[in-house]
């Protein structure tokens, strides 16, 4: 009798594990699609999906695990955008270099704050950015942007600031990086989306290293998210090229996604507080 119960229990555990793996794969595909489409939504989507859908009990483990998955998926999507010639490398590399230092500082302080408070604070920030992006949706942007002495201070300053926020909230930072690159250089949103993945990769790797050092990464789940994210990213990159050719459409999609996610995260965080 006891043997039958144990077998039945093991069967239930295996079923739960398989379900979580499939949910992780599907959620990873959604995250990869968002990264490929708008250069953001990595950890912003991955963290609540890990906590509320997959069932990761710790917000800090979800943050650390998502940082690993986002860094890898961002690097894969970056290569796809680079082949299309949409990455503005000089601006992206300087922005990322300044942001890495900020991400390390931010992640150190972020681990000291309650995980649910982190999600609520970031949700508010998302709503503000979404509203600003809608206001400037018709902006086209300059086609031949490059790093110069005139935009160098803005690229460095906004890179450092964005990196600190990225590390503090435990996110890859695409939803912050895209508008920051547009503000600092005047580039189009398609170039900003493509170039942002340089910084998303760097910020995510820095945050992931910090959380991994503290033992706050679930490596098997990170691998599942990466696998799903590669598939979703291919679709997202193709969609970004299509929408980028239509005036203002990618801006509207970008803003709508982060506003919806921000409202959802804020509602869940307030419900759990």
**pLDDT tens digits for the chain (273 residues)?**
445 434 442 443 344 477 778 888 888 888 888 888 877 666 667 877 888 888 888 878 888 888 888 888 888 888 888 888 889 999 999 999 998 888 778 877 776 766 667 677 777 877 887 787 777 655 656 667 888 888 999 999 999 988 888 777 766 567 788 888 988 998 888 888 889 889 888 877 877 888 888 888 888 888 888 999 898 888 888 887 777 666 567 777 777 877 887 887 788 777 766
Contacts of 160 (CB under 8 A, 6+ apart): 98, 99, 101, 102
Contact yes or no for 107/206 (Cβ under 8 A): yes
Alpha-carbon distance of 88 to 82, in angstroms, equals 9
Quick check: helix, strand or coil at residue 187? Answer: strand
**What pLDDT does residue 92 have?**
93
Tell me how many degrees the CA angle 97-173-267 measures, rounded to the nearest 5.
160
Q: How far apart are CA 252 and CA 245, in angstroms?
A: 13
Smallest Cα–Cα separation from 201: which of 234, 172, 237? 172
The model carries a pTM of 0.74
Q: Point out which residues pair with 142 in neighbouring strands.
A: 187
**Residues 175 and 258 sit within 8 Å (Cβ to Cβ):** yes
């Amino acid at each position: 009798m006891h043997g039958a119960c144990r077998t039945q229990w093991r069967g239930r555990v295996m079923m739960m594990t398989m379900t979580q793996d499939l949910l992780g794969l599907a959620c990873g595909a959604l995250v990869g699609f968002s990264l490929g489409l708008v250069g953001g939504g990595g950890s912003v989507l991955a963290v609540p999906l890990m906590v509320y859908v997959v069932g990761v009990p710790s917000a800090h483990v979800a943050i650390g695990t998502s940082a690993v998955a986002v860094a890898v998926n961002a690097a894969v999507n970056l290569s796809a955008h680079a082949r299309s010639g949409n990455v503005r490398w000089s601006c992206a590399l300087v922005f990322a270099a300044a942001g890495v230092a900020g991400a390390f500082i931010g992640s150190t302080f972020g681990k000291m704050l309650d995980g649910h408070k982190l999600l609520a604070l970031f949700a508010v920030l998302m709503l503000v950015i979404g509203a600003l992006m809608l206001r400037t949706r018709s902006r086209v942007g300059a086609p031949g942007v490059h790093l110069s002495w005139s935009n160098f201070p803005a690229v460095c300053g906004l890179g450092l600031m964005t990196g600190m926020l990225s590390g503090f909230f435990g996110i890859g930072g695409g939803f912050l990086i895209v508008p920051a690159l547009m503000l600092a250089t005047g580039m189009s949103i398609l170039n900003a989306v493509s170039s942002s993945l340089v910084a998303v990769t760097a910020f995510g790797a820095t945050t992931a290293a910090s959380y991994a050092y503290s033992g706050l990464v679930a490596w098997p789940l990170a691998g599942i998210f990466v696998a799903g994210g590669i598939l979703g990213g291919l679709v997202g990159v193709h969609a970004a090229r299509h929408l980028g050719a239509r005036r203002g459409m990618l801006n509207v999609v970008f803003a709508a996604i982060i506003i919806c996610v921000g409202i959802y995260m804020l509602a869940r965080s307030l419900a759990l507080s």
